[in-house]
Each structure stands twice: as C-alpha cells, then as structure tokens.
C-alpha cells in the first residue's frame, strides 16, 4: 500500500527556509457556491498561496531520454568508473523477497552513459547476483540481463513524482482577512477568505475545525499586520512628525439600506487611516503621496469621537463594532474582524487625538454668554485651559484650568453649562453659554480633556518624541 506522507502530517506544518518561517497545511477551497476541493495553503511572510498537487513522470525533460515502451529482456554492459562507480542505486533483493530494481541513475555517470538503463528496470541476471544485491559493487565490465518494468504497477510508482503547483497567489501587503460573507453580517462556519490589494482573492478557505481556523487566522493576520506596520514606517519617513500615521487598516462600514427593516444590512470595505489631525477613509489603500492628498472622506480627529459599541448594542450579527461621530455629519458605523483589532484602533485613536490637540494648541468657538447675551469667544487652550474672551471689552471675562472642570450639561441644541471649582474657595461656579456649533464644541472639549489626562503619563510623552 502506498502511503502519502503529506496527508499524515499535522494540519499546519512549520519549516525554516533561509531563516524565513513558512507554514503550510491542507484545506478545502470553494467559490462560495460549488463544492470545496482539497488544496494546500502555503504561507510566507509576504504572500499566501493556494497550491494543487500535480503528479508527473520523472526523467521527462528535454535533456533526458524517454522510457522504453516494451518489456523485452535486454543485455547491457556497464563499465565501472574510478569516480562514481556504476552510477546507479538499487532496491529490493532476495532477502526482501523482491526483485532487484534500479531506483536511481546518476546523470553523466556509467549507467547513464549506456543510454539503455532506466529507473524501474528489473535486474534479472548479472555477473554476480550477490554483488548486485549489495549496491552493485562489482568491478570491471558488468554484463546484466535486464527487463524494463514500466508495465508493472510497483515500478510505475517509482517513475512518477509529485509537486505543488501554485494556483492562486495573494500578496499580503495591505491585504485583509474576513470570515463574513462579503457585504453581509453572516459568519462562515470554520471558513475565511483573504483579499489582496491587487484584487487577488483566495476564495473561501474551509478548515476542518475551529482550532485550525483560529491558527490560520492568527498566522495570516500577524503577517499582514507586520507588513502594514513596515509600510507605515516607510510612509512616515516622508511626513513631518506632526502628520505621522498612527493607524491604517481595513474596516467594514455599515451602509444605510432603507429597503428593509435592518438599516445596517450591507457592508463595504474601507481603508481607515489616522494621520496627524485627520481621520481618512479610502476605498483602496493609498500607494503614493498623491493618493494621500486625494482622499474625499476626511474628518478632523479633534472634532470627532470614537465610541466602541457594546455587544448588547450591536445592530446585527456583526461583532467588534464602533461608531465615529463627526460634528455636522451622520455617525458612521464600522466593524472589524477581531477584538484585538478593535483595541488597536481605540488605542491609536487616543494617540491621534493627543497628537492633534498638541499640534492645534488652541481652538476658539463663537458663543454668547450670560443674561446679556454678549458676543464672546470661548477658547480651549492647551496651556491656559478654558477662557472666555469678551470681544467688545477685548479682555478675558474668566479663565479656568482644565483640572478645575467638575462637570457639564447641555440641552442637545445650543445651550451649555460648565461647572468649575474655584481653586481658593472650592465653591462650584456655573457658566452658561449659547453656542451655534454645540456638537463641535463638545467633541473638541472631549479631545482636549483626553489629551490632558494622557499627558500626565510620562511614558506617553516619551512615546510621542519624534
């Protein structure tokens, strides 16, 4: 019985090839509609390949002679050479109750030079059969009676070889992995697909169980993330420190659909980037400096808020969701593949907010204050805190540090109350304001307060050093 050792190996094999860790394993692949077919999944640091096994005859290239098609008995003379001997290897023998078969012929050596011996030939008589059975150790001129074994099932297998042929190659640079049926909130059981930047797609890759699925997702995602971080570093070399990229990666945005009862029933992939003071959403990843300048969906991070959605608040079966709320625009609903990715986005968001506020320094909003409804400017300043500037008197009416703010409330339209604690009397003083752009003011307040809290951590400040 012939045993294919590849099918008996562990589901995911690890090898070391020139210091590069390579992983491969058997899976089944389909287009999502037809029955899955077996393939090998082969992962390297830069590409993911789907491969099929191909069986081909050995010694079938242009430099090698074809196998004889008959089974006649032949007498072949082979002269041993000083280097290389007879130039062949044999298997079998009387002690194994098997015929003596030629298992290998070494190129350009004695047996090969005859042009009459082939892998799979059975040696039925020789000058010294005992010597033939001991790796053909005869000396001098050997005359053998041989019979071509190409018609025998046992020797047919000796004349065939298998190799893995690449069917699909997906570059991992800025690729993404998804378990969801494209455009929906439906998870595929024990299956995933990988979509590449160049449009290449693995199709639906099916795993035998959840454990193997989890392994593949981790390995592939780790490689994609490593390449993405490398690309971020390359991009950041061309940008000043204040415009550095904190995050970039694929998310899925819920698209409003008014034709059914579930508003977030359709999803589209978006490439989300946090760069300097901006939040950018691309349909496809930027590949050069010009692409960064042509993004048509850009928001200021200090005028936006990210809110992670609790599991109980999910609008459908998509998991790991978050909202980006931007002043003056509809909220945007997003989903990512893993909890770890959601945490990375949340952490990068905080870093971006802090960097944006430090770069901005201060932001002033037009307001009216007090019973007299005087026109004034409420300034949020990184060093000064809250300050109300009377535009008529051209002086500051009041000023408080960010640390003095004890609370705030608003009516959701334009009216805002800020509650400050006096540093000397400890009394709470309430300031009432009217602001036509209330949401923008609230988001900006949140950004400044977040940055102030984060700046207390020395480790954070050191991490922001260019």
Residue 41 lies in a domain: yes
Are 414 and 284 in the same domain?
A: no
| Model confidence at 466: pLDDT above 70 | no
Residue 177 and residue 36 share a domain: yes
Contacts of 328 (CB under 8 A, 6+ apart): 437, 439, 440
Alpha carbon separation from 397 to 300, 333, 379, 382, 388 (Å, rounded): 29, 41, 12, 18, 6
What is residue 85's predicted lDDT score, i.e. its pLDDT? 80
- 318-335 in b/e form (b: 16+ CB < 10 A) is bbbbbebbbbeeeebbbb
CA atoms within 13 A on the CB side of 449: 15
Query: What's residue 272's pLDDT?
Result: 97
pLDDT tens, residue by residue, 130-172:
444 444 333 334 444 455 544 333 444 455 667 889 999 999 9
Q: Is the pLDDT of residue 2 over 50?
A: no
Same domain, 47 and 192: yes
- Say if residue 348 is in the same domain as residue 375: no
Token representation of residue 413: 């339209």
Predicted confidence at residue 418, as pLDDT, reads: 95
| Per-residue pLDDT at 318 exceeds 60 | yes
Domain that holds residue 400: 362-438
On whether residue 337 sits in a domain, the answer given is yes
Task: Tell me, yes or no, whether 393 and 303 share the same domain.
Answer: no
Residue 101: inside a domain, yes or no?
yes
In a domain, 66, yes or no: no
Is residue 21 domain-shared with residue 86, that is, in the same domain? no
The one-character DSSP state at 157 is H
pLDDT value of position 171: 95
The region of weakest confidence among 170-174, 246-250, 255-259, 338-342 is 255-259
Range name among 129-143, 233-247, 324-338, 410-424 with the lowest pLDDT average: 129-143
Tell me what pLDDT residue 263 has: 53
Nearest to 433 by CA among 404, 407, 408, 450: 408
Instruction: Give the SS3 label for residue 176.
Output: strand
Rounded-to-integer distance, Cα 367 and Cα 237, Å: 41
Task: Output the domain CATH number for residue 83.
Answer: 2.30.42.10
| Mode of pairing for the β-strands spanning 37-43 and 122-125 | unpaired
Do 49 and 146 fall into the same domain? no
- Residue 246, pLDDT score: 94
Rounded to two decimals, the pTM is 0.71
197, pLDDT greater than 80: yes
pLDDT at 430: 94
Residue 59 lies in a domain: no
Residues 246 and 338 placed together within one structural domain of the fold: yes
Residues 252, 321, single domain; the answer is: yes
Among candidate residues 337, 360, 383, the one where a domain is terminated: 360
Alpha helices, DSSP H only, in 159-249?
A: 210-236
Is residue 225 situated within a structural domain?
no
Q: SS3 for 222?
A: helix
Residue 130 lies in a domain: yes
What does pLDDT average to over the chain?
81
Number of domains in the chain: 4
Residue 199 φ/ψ region, left for φ over 0, alpha for ψ in the -120 to 50 degree band, beta for the rest: left
- Burial per residue of 412-450, b for 16 or more beta-carbon CB atoms within 10 angstroms, e otherwise: eebebebebbeeeeeeeeebebbbebbbbbbbbbebbbb
Q: pLDDT per residue over 203-252, tens digit each?
A: 999 999 999 999 999 999 999 999 999 999 999 998 898 899 999 999 99
User: Based on the domain organization, do 10 and 96 belong to the same domain?
Assistant: no
Assign residue 326 the CATH number of its domain: 2.30.29.30
Q: Are both 149 and 175 inside the same structural domain?
A: no
In a domain, 230, yes or no: no
Q: Looking at the structure, tell me whether residues 282 and 371 fall in a common domain.
A: no
């Amino acid at each position: 019985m012939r045993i294919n050792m590849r099918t008996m190996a562990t589901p995911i094999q690890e090898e070391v090839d020139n210091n590069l860790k390579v992983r491969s394993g058997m899976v089944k692949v389909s287009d999502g509609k037809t029955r899955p077919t077996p393939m090998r999944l082969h992962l390297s640091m830069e590409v993911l390949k789907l491969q099929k096994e191909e069986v081909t005859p050995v010694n079938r290239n242009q430099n090698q002679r074809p196998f004889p098609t008959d089974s006649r008995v032949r007498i072949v003379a082979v002269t041993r050479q000083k280097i290389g001997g007879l130039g062949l290897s044999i298997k079998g023998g009387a002690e194994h109750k098997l015929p003596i078969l030629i298992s290998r012929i070494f190129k350009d050596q004695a047996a090969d030079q005859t042009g009459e011996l082939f892998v799979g030939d059975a040696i039925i008589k020789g000058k010294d059969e005992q010597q033939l059975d001991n790796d053909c150790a005869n000396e001098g001129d050997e005359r053998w009676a041989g019979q071509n074994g190409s018609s025998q099932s046992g020797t047919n297998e000796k004349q065939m070889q298998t190799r893995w042929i690449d069917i699909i190659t997906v570059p991992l640079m800025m690729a993404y992995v998804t378990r969801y049926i494209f455009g929906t909130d439906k998870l595929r059981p024990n299956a995933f697909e990988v979509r590449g930047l160049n449009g290449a797609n693995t199709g639906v890759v099916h795993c035998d169980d959840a454990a193997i699925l989890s392994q593949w997702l981790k390995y592939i995602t780790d490689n994609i993330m490593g390449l993405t971080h490398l690309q971020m570093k390359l991009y950041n070399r061309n940008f000043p420190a204040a415009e550095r990229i904190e995050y970039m990666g694929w998310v899925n945005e819920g698209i409003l659909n008014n034709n059914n009862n579930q508003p977030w029933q359709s999803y589209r992939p978006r490439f989300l980037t946090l760069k300097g003071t901006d939040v950018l959403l691309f349909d496809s990843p930027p590949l050069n400096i010009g692409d960064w300048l042509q993004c048509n969906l850009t928001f200021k991070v200090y005028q936006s808020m990210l809110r992670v959605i609790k599991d109980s608040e999910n609008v459908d079966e998509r998991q790991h969701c978050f909202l980006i709320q931007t002043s003056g625009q509809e909220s945007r609903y997003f989903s990512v593949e893993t909890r770890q990715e959601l945490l990375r986005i949340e952490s990068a968001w905080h870093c971006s907010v802090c960097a944006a506020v430090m770069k901005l320094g201060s932001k002033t909003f037009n307001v009216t204050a007090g019973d007299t409804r005087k026109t004034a400017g409420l300034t949020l300043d990184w060093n000064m805190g809250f300050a109300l500037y009377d535009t008529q008197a051209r002086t500051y009416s009041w000023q408080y540090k960010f640390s003095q703010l004890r609370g705030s409330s608003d009516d959701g339209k334009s009216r805002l109350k800020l509650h400050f604690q006096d540093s000397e009397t400890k009394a709470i003083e309430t300031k009432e304001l009217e602001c036509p752009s209330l949401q923008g003011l609230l988001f900006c307040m949140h950004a400044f307060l977040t940055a102030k809290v984060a700046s207390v951590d020395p480790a954070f400040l050191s991490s922001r050093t260019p």
